[in-house]
Every structure is written in structure tokens, then in C-alpha cells.
Structure 1
Amino acid sequence: MSTQSNLAGAYLAKGTIGNVGMPGAQIVHFSLVVVPSQNSVNGAVQITQATQNGNYQGQVSGKIFATGFGTTTQVVSLRGNVHSDRVTPIEIPFEAHLALDGSWNGTGGFAYANTHVENVPVVAEK
């Protein structure tokens, strides 16, 4: 007996979460493989910020679901760990949630370390 993954309809989603252009704002850059038939999302995030704490990056996984709520056609939740770009090998829990239209634009939020950001734009990379 063999098992196969059903990856039909899988696609790559890239974009940002945060107030791009606002001085000092933390911005999450994401690159995710989305498999709607399995309601799964897996990929990488990179957090850039203009503070002395530096940038973070890591792997995430999560779920995607259709909503049927007007222009918000899908919701995505992400979880994983990020680590500093510095030498310190400490991993920090990361979570994000997104309310999106079919083009991966919408609103979301994220949390890591002592940072919690809500109600910021999510913009798909063109």
C-alpha cells in the first residue's frame, strides 16, 4: 500500500505583513507554499526592524481556510520559531494571523518575543 500527498492546486505566496514605509516598524516578509486541498501552509518568514535587536528569520507552518465573508475570502494562521540574525542561537516562538482576499492582500498581525503587532496591512508581492 502506498500513500501519496495530494498537492493539486499548490502555489507559492509571497508578501509582507506590517506598515511598510513607517520608520522603525517591524515588517514580516513571508514566502509560503500553500496547499489548499490540505488546508496547509509551510514556508519561511524574515522579520526586519530598524532597532538594535536586529532581524529574525525562521520556518513556519500553519492552516488556511476559506471564509465566505465578502472580500475576506481566506484566513491563515502561522506558527513557528524565529532566530536572530546575530550569533545567538536562541529560538523564539512566532505566530501570525491573516485575513485575506483571493490575491493575498488584507489585514493581519504577528507576535514574537515581546513584540505584538495587530491590524496591519498584508500585501502580496507582485
Structure 2
Amino acid sequence: MATNELNEIEHLYLVAGNLGSPGAPILNLAVLFNSADGALSGEALIAQAIAPPNGRVVIRPVSGEVHGLGLQHYTRAFTLSGEYTVSVPPPAIGTYLAKFTATFVTDNDWVGQGSFTYGNQTVKDVPIRPR
């Protein structure tokens, strides 16, 4: 990999959700952004102050794309998707794959707003920012 290719990769640590609201699901993203092709890849963690095991959802891997945008002060729109394993609560036995999706609009500093869905939960119109 050439030196200029390394400069096109940005490590992003983002947090989305209503921070400070008790019980609100908070999305944490650790992703790599390739500015050359707009690709995002990494992992997500959704944390929520609810009874275990539902208070922590790990989604690996997540992937998506960033697109340029010219809407008010927002300059980027990005989407992410992935799957995670859900264990069926007793007395049933088993696991299944649930879907995760996210869509956000941000400025050049990755500050903005958007929504994310995991399983049958949708969290709308939440802020996102770097952590």
C-alpha cells in the first residue's frame, strides 16, 4: 500500500443517541473511512441501561458508504448495515441473526443527526458526533 493510500484511511469513533437520557439506546461506532472510495467498515455497539442480556448488542462487521451532500450545513450522508446474533430466551433454545441499519447526515467534522434500527427497535432523529 502506497503512502498516499494510507492517508486516505481515517479512523472514526462516533457516538449516536440521546446521551444523558436514562434507558436510551446509545450507538457507538468504531469504523475506518476510506475517503478514496467512500467505504466505511468496522463494528458497532449498542448499549442501553436495561436488564441483561439485552443491554448490549455487538454488531461485527458493519459496512456502508459515505456520499457527498449539499443540504444546509450537512456535507455527508452515510449508511451502515450489519447483522448480529440474538439468543432466544428460555425456555426456548437457539439463536438467530437480526439486522442492523443506520443512516446519518453530518458536517465535515462528523457532527449531525440520523436514525438506526436494530431488530424491531428504531431510534429516530438522534444526534451523532465524534467520541
> Which range, TM-score by smaller chain?
0.7 to 0.9
The 8 Å contact of residues 8 and 37 in structure 1, kept in 2 or not, is answered as no
How far did residue 68 of structure 1 move?
2.1
How far did residue 83 of structure 1 move?
3.3
The 8 Å contact of residues 73 and 101 in structure 1, kept in 2 or not, is answered as yes
Paired residue type of 2:114: G
Aligned Cα root-mean-square deviation (Å): 2.1
Match of 2:80 in 1: 78
Alignment of 1:18-29 (within 5 A): 18-29=17-28
How far did residue 8 of structure 1 move?
4.9
Q: Does 1:111 align with 2:117?
A: yes
Distance 2:69 2:75 in 1: 5
Match of 1:3 in 2: none
Q: Does 1:44 align with 2:46?
A: no
Match of 2:126 in 1: 120
Count of residue pairs the alignment pairs up: 120
Paired residue type of 1:34: F
Distance 1:110 1:21 in 2: 18
5+ unaligned residues in a row in structure 1: which ranges? 1-5
The 8 Å contact of residues 82 and 92 in structure 1, kept in 2 or not, is answered as yes
Distance 1:27 1:83 in 2: 18
Q: 1:32 to 1:105 in 2, by over 3 A?
A: same
Match of 1:54 in 2: 55
Q: 1:54-74: per-residue Cα shift (whole Å, max 9, x none)?
A: 210112000101112231010
Matched residues, percent identical?
Answer: 28
Match of 1:97 in 2: 103
5+ unaligned residues in a row in structure 2: which ranges? 88-93
Query: Runs of 4+ in structure 1 displaced over 3 angstroms?
Result: none
After alignment, is 89-98 or 23-32 more displaced?
Answer: 89-98
